[in-house]
Chains A and B, each alone.
Chain A
């Protein structure tokens, strides 16, 4: 049995909009182990995005607890949460969110800037991660000079640069064509095999099927949580 990485208990999140309160999450209990590849599915409004924001320490729950490894993070201040994100988490977004007119290396090194690493260290780590995603020869390119798939690889390298314990990917293939999507999934699977825990949000079954566990949300609650016989993305590319 692997170590528990994430444990959430009775997690709720309410949004107050005018005089109505929207209950985005209505009590979620979940454990995710080190090394898992989890896909979170559900229609819009199901609470999966809210859940991801909480997992990503971008937001605080209304109630409930969230242990990341052994650290209870649900009541930390925003600055402390920023520190957790900086040290322990990596993010991959649907629209890549790279800084324009900034080289791939600098984009990848961005999280290290806020970790107070020296310029030389930042560049060294960034180049290593770029090589890991197969873009060593594009280090000086700006995002505009890269294809969508390459941009997402740069974004993945950025998510990895701080050696995170958890990578959160929010619709990472949503802006890519099918083949490029499979390439990205193959990359994520490869990283997962190297021991990185990945939680992926998607509404596409094809994409979710590359994960080894699928959790479905509806109306702010988990409706199903099942292991999945993962498709091998690398094999599909052959």
Chain B
């Protein structure tokens, strides 16, 4: 008996019991839609965390001087800094897993350009800084070695600063004043967006670390080589923990700290926090998908239930079909196709519902979602498998009926 003829019988049977078929499908519809939306939401959350890691610069370890993290007791100004540019150079030179170590001097202040002004944070950095943070320059150029050596009055600015000081005007070669020191803008940094604390990373001015020390921040630090922080980037594939331990040991040696004495610096592995967050969001995504799958499973059980009822109800029909020549396999196919058709149509509607649900969640709830083709195929495939799995038992039961008993069934 041809597949098409069997399909037609199945479709007819479903059409005759429209309401029942629709309700049975509803289980699959909700299940498939839930799986699609939940996977989209879960992946969206994961992608957000991944973006944050990316915007921070991957594989970052921060070394900060004790005075900044130690709280009130250490207080005071930058003169309390314990780490220096030389520490940064040593780290880059002596620890295997480190790709680059970027010392930074940090300051805040009013930046003036023409009659516009803007309060922002500025950093004295080395060219390593951009490498460490995976930050590119969209317009203009970076610092040249002679500018680093000569404390040249040049600066790179972030998009936010550019927008606030210059609007639509091209900021390249314009002059800004930072603490009354005129700096020529030589480049604009690519947009990085917010970091995980919600701070605008594009609200920034970068200048050579020498310029910051000698000209902008002032005399107290002019002679020392101390810095506020060192941002370290490890090589791809390097073990962050090993690198961190090596850094700690090297810095203790360089600072001549005795055994038992506390570190006078603070090492933070930023991506560790984010990775923990990423792991959490991944678990969350799996959990969401699992819960949604359960509803798909329940939908499948609904199909099985209805198919069992249908087989019982149509026992005489089965008997008649057998009497006029239907083989066991014909009956099995008929009911199996019915179940699979139910779940596939349900799956299809579920996909449409899932896509629109995803649209609603991202547009009205404002959550970030990532709709993916593989999730859709997964849900559809799952629906088909459920149709076959839960349809097989009732269909097998139908095909095993004795024609005599089936014909006599009241």
Contact = CB atoms under 8 A, between A and B. Distances in A.
Interface string A82-93: 110111000101
Interface string A68-86: 0000000000110011011
A138 B326 CA distance: 26
B16 A101 contact: yes
Contacts of A178: none
B330 interface: yes
Interface stretch (B33-41, B288-296, B317-325): B317-325
30 contacts: A53-B404, A58-B323, A59-B404, A78-B327, A79-B328, A79-B329, A82-B325, A82-B328, A83-B325, A83-B327, A85-B323, A85-B324, A85-B325, A86-B324, A93-B320, A97-B316, A97-B320, A97-B323, A110-B320, A110-B321, A110-B324, A113-B1, A113-B5, A113-B9, A114-B324, A114-B326, A114-B330, A116-B2, A158-B324, A162-B325
B120 to A, nearest CB: 77
Contacts of B322: 58, 82
A13 to B, nearest CB: 11
Interface of B: 1-2, 5, 9, 12, 16, 316-317, 319-330, 402-404, 407
A119 to B, nearest CB: 8
Kindly name the residue among A82, A91, A110, A162 whose own CB sees the greatest number of chain B CB atoms within 10 A. A82
Q: Is the interface of B mostly helix, strand, loop or mixed?
A: helix
A53 B9 CA distance: 27
Nearest to B317: A99
A91 B403 CA distance: 12
B325 A79 contact: no
Contacts of B330: 114
Nearest to A53: B404
A97 B402 CA distance: 16
Interface string A159-176: 000100000000000000
Contacts of B320: 93, 97, 99, 110
A190 to B, nearest CB: 22
Contacts of B325: 82-83, 85-87, 111, 114-115, 162
B326 A82 contact: yes
Contacts of B403: 58
A143 interface: no
Contacts of A101: 16
B400 to A, nearest CB: 10
Contacts of A115: 325
Interface of A: 53, 56, 58-59, 78-79, 82-83, 85-87, 91, 93, 97, 99, 101-102, 110-111, 113-116, 119, 158, 162
Smallest CB-CB A-B distances: 10 pairs: A86-B325, A111-B324, A114-B325, A82-B327, A97-B320, A79-B327, A58-B403, A58-B404, A114-B326, A85-B325
A116 B1 CA distance: 5
A79 B320 CA distance: 15
B201 to A, nearest CB: 68
A54 to B, nearest CB: 10
Nearest to A79: B327
Given A58-B323, A102-B12, A114-B325, 4 more contacts: A58-B403, A58-B407, A82-B326, A113-B9
Contacts of A58: 322-323, 403-404, 407
Contacts of A162: 324-325
A48 to B, nearest CB: 14
Contacts of B16: 101
Contacts of B316: 97
A93 B407 CA distance: 9
